Amino acid sequence: MYYVYVLRSLKDSKLYIGYSKDLDMRLDQHNSRKVKSTRYRTPFELIYYSPREMLHRSNPSTDGLFHRVKQVEICMMQSIERNI
């Protein structure tokens, strides 16, 4: 099982969308600056996650995981734009 997740930076309010098998460990990695792409935007809060089954472990895109990430990104951005 994988988790699609959305983090919000408490430093700049920008969103980060990712996926991981171990959500708690991954959030800890983000907040302890071990993830290169987010290390300068810590700390983060988890604002959304969704468990996803991986049907084809050799090719995660075939089970819709990356499509779901894109859907989440679009929904989050639309929500933010409505609140501005």
- When comparing pLDDT for 78 and 50, which is higher? 50
pLDDT at 61: 52
Tally: H helices and E strands in the chain: 2, 3
- Its domain, for residue 40, covers 2-83
Q: Is residue 71 pLDDT above 80, yes or no?
A: no
pLDDT at 41: 95
Q: Which tens digits make up the pLDDT trace of 14-48?
A: 889 888 999 999 999 999 999 999 999 999 999 98
Torsion angles phi and psi, residue 46, rounded to 5: -80, 120
Please state whether beta strands 44-52 and 15-20 pair in parallel, antiparallel, or not at all (unpaired): unpaired
Which helix (H) or strand (E) element contains residue 17? strand 15-20
Q: Is residue 77 pLDDT above 80, yes or no?
A: no
The answer to pTM > 0.85 is: no
Which helix (H) or strand (E) element contains residue 16? strand 15-20
Which helix (H) or strand (E) element contains residue 47? strand 44-52
- Domain count across the chain: 1
